[in-house]
Chain A
């Protein structure tokens, strides 16, 4: 009996396609698991209020630096209250320092300058310093941070 629909190329294509699909899924899943293993867990962070101090101790003209839960923060007192800036320069991530004489933040890496309101006034930084939310309870100043 002759075989109708005998098409070796089709059969070869189908088997090859099925194998490729299977391999993609199987080995792809394997590779995905490997990548998931490598990716560090950044999802579980909850925001928490951390105490910085009392208003009496924190008032003053210049910026006060804090290292809170690993975050480098600069606290400034303004007419409205307190503002907390991140010390991470918005150019490429160095830490800014406070220049009391000129009333500004300076970044030593590429000479970026921010004024006392965090606004980038000179040098490469593309945008003002990031801010953290400040919460005042009674006489205590808290800063809102993501703590792992």
Chain B
């Protein structure tokens, strides 16, 4: 790359100016893979967006036809199984990468020193991705989709004050009808993508503006272009290889079509919701729901909590590590429990 520092600003071309804006000195600790778990979800999101758009060319969002259109994609359309498989595999990798990213950020307290905004936007992103997962799976309109739609909207109804309006908004009425499917489809393909793109933009801008939290061990920096850029390119290709192979080894299948008259006993949500699902089943009703909402609220405002404690001298690194371990073990236990049942 030509160095642009020697030119005066007025002589630079548009591309050079753009390059300058994107260029940045990145702390060297970002050479370690565990610190690149933020770029991973971004790459995976782009893959999801592309495959998702491709799928909309064949998907029909009406109850009589949704299941069959996906069946057609999976079993008849050329490479339909592949596009759907890539989409599915990428969702799972995305949630996994997000969870790992959150754990890393949490354990290293990267939100400190005024970086709380990054965390809030990140929390928003996390919830948006979960919403994507829920709405996306509902579109298949198989038994899990239908009963998942019913149960989750019912759970949302329990939230005090805002629960009822959101419930009605999501369902498009009192009952689960074709309007519900249509609304979830619109959320999944229009509203949520808009929201997540804004949040991603804001998250990245926040990172750029607020910078990275300092880590003493690695003191140096390196430029974003070409170093970190190439790294992201390598990661993209590696992820694609993993995804393509996983999609080929574990191709997508069809469950039973939705039967509104019979609650199948074996419906369970995708793995990333299993922990919450299992927790709500074993906990007494009000306590279960309330604890979930409380957890997510604390999660979102955690930088404040952290600052409150660390100002009083607590060693938050140790605290975070402990909390992280407890939450991770709890999540793993609940998930495995649900899987075994």
Contact = CB atoms under 8 A, between A and B. Distances in A.
A and B touch in the complex (CB under 8 A): yes
Interface of A: 23, 26, 30, 33-34, 36-39, 41
Contacts of B50: 34
B78 A41 contact: yes
A27 to B, nearest CB: 8
A34 B240 contact: no
A26 B57 contact: no
A26 B240 contact: yes
Interface of B: 50-51, 54, 57, 77-80, 82-83, 233, 237, 240
Contact of B79 (A23, A26, A37): A37
Overall SS of chain B's interface: helix
Contacts of B54: 34, 37-38
The 8 A-B pairs at the shortest CB distance, nearest first, are namely A37-B79, A37-B83, A36-B79, A33-B79, A37-B54, A38-B57, A34-B54, A36-B78
Nearest to B237: A26
Contact of B80 (A23, A30, A37): A37
Of B51, B79, B240, most buried by chain A (CB within 10 Å of CB) is B79
Overall SS of chain A's interface: helix
Contacts of B82: 33, 37
A33 B247 CA distance: 14
Nearest to A37: B79
A139 B19 CA distance: 78
Nearest to A38: B57
A26 B240 CA distance: 9
Contacts of B79: 33, 36-37
A36 B240 CA distance: 18
Given A26-B237, A34-B83, A37-B77, 5 more contacts: A23-B233, A30-B240, A33-B83, A38-B54, A38-B57
Contacts of A26: 237, 240
Contacts of A23: 233, 237
17 contacts: A23-B233, A23-B237, A26-B237, A30-B240, A33-B79, A33-B82, A33-B83, A34-B51, A34-B54, A34-B83, A37-B54, A37-B79, A37-B80, A37-B82, A37-B83, A39-B78, A41-B78
A44 to B, nearest CB: 11
B189 to A, nearest CB: 16
A59 B75 CA distance: 46
